[in-house]
Each structure stands twice: as structure tokens, then as C-alpha cells.
A and B are shown apart, each in its own frame.
Chain A
């Protein structure tokens, strides 16, 4: 087991090591050395990828040979305990999350290479890669966690890096607004996971994720309803399901490569993984399944409809992403775990690719029109407009357009109130500082003489 565990450790500690090195580099003038940053990032990411692939091969062979597989513990750590409550943090690999880990490391490697070229000479080169590696660590914690308490840590890292990368270009105010919008959506929904994980820690301490025999376990009476719904709530936020969808298109403010890995690849699917884990681990009430399916179905229709009326490519892809994630929610509620996993991984690759190359859409259309110069009408013909009466079509467009506008228009009230709150805090702080420095406001502060 020793060797296997060592390899498994590389998956997590590789990226962690590059994060630490990057963090240290950040304090030195070396942070402007692109080649150094590239090396550090690539080393950690490829270590994770290579060991992930190796482990996957070994695990699958073992599973095929024996028909079952013990999870591989990466580490297990007694975090703290008070009264009778124990909080333990652990990471472990099993036959479910190895696929997600493979997906995460593959995508982060590819997007890493992409970004090396894409962000070359950008003043935020270091910041970008620091955040991307931090994000990868977060995602790996989410996927590798052995309990919901550990998962929460990764969940938060994913959220904060997401918001910071949306606001990567601080020149425009809208960028900051939209990052705040996404951050707000995350924070609200994170409450679900936090409460759920705390409840579980209180009632089922040391209950680790596992697959197979004896699962899913029944939750103790009072938690049976509460925890699954809390988790669903949290998953909806992270995966931008209706009605928490409006942040997703707004999140397309960062560099294309971070948009791709977050909202095409990994972050958007974190909710799917959470629900998969939940269903494999604990029994959930039918009502929650119905609710999951309903949320998924509504989001799916909503996303498809809005995606069809978007006239900019990134919004269109964002809405398309959330519609597919909606289908995954339905699949999970139906118990189609294999389908959901394959769907999730396939979708992540496809969508990441699409977002990465979304700038080529103009020339793709030009090529299409060139190819169909003699049958342009036929090539562009659409079925839907032929089937529906004109009135219905314009009505449909109106509704979809209004929905899109609702998501786009203005600043959300919550962002505004958040801002008001922070302004109050800032004023308070200023008052406090002028109080402790013992001087009034204004020019007098520098008056100590020489």
C-alpha cells in the first residue's frame, strides 16, 4: 500500500508544493519572471496528472481483478474537537473521484499551457497563475475530500478564486460589480454546505466517504430532510442553477482561459459532484429527489432558451453550460450515476474547448458561408421557425430576451447593499484610525514637524 499511497500523495501535494513555492516567490522580485512561474506551475500540475493517470490504471486493474476496491487514503488529520464533537479532515481516492481528479488535472494542465501563452506579458501574470494553482488545490480538495467537512474547505477556495479571477481586470467598474455579484451568489449558497457539514460533523463524526457495501447510509431522523436540501441549495449556487443563474454569464469578465476552466470545466461541475457524493453516501428523501429534478429541468429549459437568444459567444456558452448541468441534476435524481459522471466529464472537456476557442467563431462562420456559397439559404435554414407560427416565435424571443435582460440589467440590490455595508465599515475604520492617531481629519495629520 505504501507505494500506492505515495503516488496518491503526489496528486495533492504536487500542486500544493507549487502553490507554496509560488507564494514564496511572490514576496521576491522573481515574481516578474514568467519562465520561473511557468516551470513551478507546470511541475506541480504535471506531477498531479501523471500520478493520477498511474493510479487510475492501477485502481481499475485491481477493481477488475477483485471486484471491489478499498479507498486509498492520502492523509487523515484530526483537525480539532470540542465537547464530543470531532472534526477530522482527510483526503482519499476511490473509484468515483479518481475520474474527477483525472478530469481536473488534465484540464488544469491544458489550460495551464494555454495560459502561459495567452497571458504572456500581462502585468497580472503572476497573480493569474497563483490564483489558478490555488483554484486547482481547491478543486482537488473538493474532489478528494473524505468528508463533507473537508470538502467545504475546497469549496470555499474555489469560490474565492473564482471571484478574484472574474475581477482580474480591475480597469472597468463593471468587472468588479460582476465579480461581487458572483461572490454574493456563492456566499449565500455556501451557507447550505457549511450548515450541512456542521450538522453532519455533530451527528456523524468520522463518517468517511466510501462506495459500495452498506451505502447509502440512512441519516439520523432530524437530519434526513435538512441536510440533503441544504446541500442541494449549495450545489445550485455553485452550478448556477435557476434561480441562481444570473451570475454565470456575468462571470465571463476574466481572461478567456480562466472563464474556460471555471465555467466550462471544473467549478461549474462542483455542484454535480457534491450531489453525486451525497446520493452515494446517504439516503435522501424522495422530496429532495423531486426537487433536484425540478431544479435541473427548469434550469435546463431556462439555459437552453437563453442560450439561443444570446448574441455574444461567451454568454451563449455560459447559458449552454448551465443547461447541461441541469440535465446532470436530473440524471442524478434518477439515479443514473454512470451517465451523470460520463456526461459531466464529457461536458467539461467539450465546453472548455469551446470557450478556449470562442474567438475563432467569426472565421468559423466565414468558412461555413464560403463552403455553402451556393446553398446559403438551405444551410442556414432553421427548423424551429418553420414549425412555429410567427406570433409564437416573436413571443418566445421576447420572453427569452426579457429573461436574459433581467439577468443582465442593473446592479443587484444585494451587491448594492453589500457595498453600502463595506463603505460604512471603511468610514468606521477611518474614524477609528483618526481616533487612535489622535488627530482630526484633514491636513493636520502630517504635522509632527521635523
Chain B
């Protein structure tokens, strides 16, 4: 019986060696170790053997079965591999340079991007965000900011009127008044928003965006104004950017300053953008005028504060190298999709 098993194994292995196809393998598998295979038959025969022989023969059958299975597996694998290789060899070529499938890439408007960035910087040094209406009352936009009726400073801000009392806010500064009327110091607030002036040319659009900011507390000084705005400008334009403060005038701040940065286009050497001065004006600021504190009922002896206004279009133009402010509101997708 052992010899028979051995010869079955030998036959089987020889046949496996000679297979030509997967079907051959399956056939051989059936013939030897399938349900009606010859080796399976041997297992069934075991019970006819004397008890003392069964153990040895059984082991021999097992050895044979394992070896056949192993060889079958090996052969099978070889065929799979060949088949795969053929498949890959004959696969249709793929043009990987064809574009991927996706909707066109959207963009957030550059004005929004720059606003978000400014807000985040000030948030990072403890300022919170406030807002106010765009159709504003004369009082908040002018009178409470030390610009009574018939004040020549109103000429600096040509105004769109809705009626005799209501107007389109000419700056985001009225938010200052609205916040201060409702809250007591300490205050650290920024107010991004839309403003309007009756002005339209290459460098002015009748609608534009500003971020107003202010800080009021006991002990806020002009040195703090310089410190906070320098931190902001260094963060926005880079640490190496030179910043200068020069005297100016706004009715609602005193002393007032205009803040210049070294021209980002020519690095201070002088070019068309900075009008050959090497400097670019980027924001206006100052110590809040005591008259303004009076109009919101703050103790002017106790509290001091600074305020500033940043033109967002201006910063966006410098950031992205945009030379015509009107592009922002034309909404040409060739423009919008660049940012």
C-alpha cells in the first residue's frame, strides 16, 4: 500500500511538472486529491487495512497529499503570474497627461482673503471683531467723530447721502462710536467693513473696504500705537519691512499719523508705484481725540486710546501686485481665478 501511495505521488508530481494550462492543474487536482481522486480513494481504503498498518500508511498518504498540493499551488501560481504579465503586457496604454476630473477650482475674493488675514493678525494680539451698519447716521459717521456740520474736514470724505440724516458711511470709524457708546474700557476692537466715498478714478472706487481698529484703556500711549501697528505691518509685509510714522490730520485723532512702509515694489529705491519716494502710505492712525471720548461719555482724564484705519484694497494691491483698483469690482473671472 505504501508503495502504491508513493507511486501515485510520483505520477502526480510528474504530471504536475508537465502541465500546460490552469485547466490541466485543475484536472490533475481532481484526479488525485479531488472527491473521487485516487489518493482520496486510498484514504477511504485505509479502514480496510489492519489496524497496526493504518498509522504508517495514513502518514504516507498525508505526506503525498501535502506534496501534491504544494506542487499544484506552485504551478498554479506560476500560471497566474504568467497570465498577469500577459495582461499587463497587453494592457491599453493610459494617457496620464489627460486632466483629472474635478470642478474648476474656486477662489475667495482677494479682498476677503486680505480682510481675513488682517483680522487674524489682530485677533492674535487680543483684538475682537465688531461691526456696524453701512447706511449710517450723520451723527456716528461725522458729528460724534469731531466733524460737525460745515467742518472743512468733511471735504476729505465726499459723501453719498440717502437723506439729510442718513448716508453711506465714508469709513468704518463710526463702529468706534457704536462700540464705545455701549461698552466701557478696556477695549481692543477691530471693525472690518465696506465704506463709500463719492470718488471714482484709477485709484479710487466709490465703494471700498477698510479695517478700523482701536484700543482704549487707562495708560494707552502713542508709543503703544506705534508698537501695535508695527507688529501688524511686520506680520503682514514681513519683518524686514521698514515702517515710518509721520504727522497728519484726522479730526477724530490727535496726534494723528500716516504710516508708510518701505515700497515693496522697489524696496525703497524709488519707482512709479511709490511716486519715486521709496515709501508707500498704508494706513492712518492716531490717539483718539478727547472730543470723541466726550461724545461717548468717557472720562478723558482717565482714558486714552489709539485708533487706526487700514485700506484693504491698498494692501491687497500691494500683496498681489494689482495696479488698477477697479479690477476688484469688475469680477472678471480671469482676475478672480488668480488668487
* A interacts with B: no
Spell out B's residues near A (CB within 8 Å): none
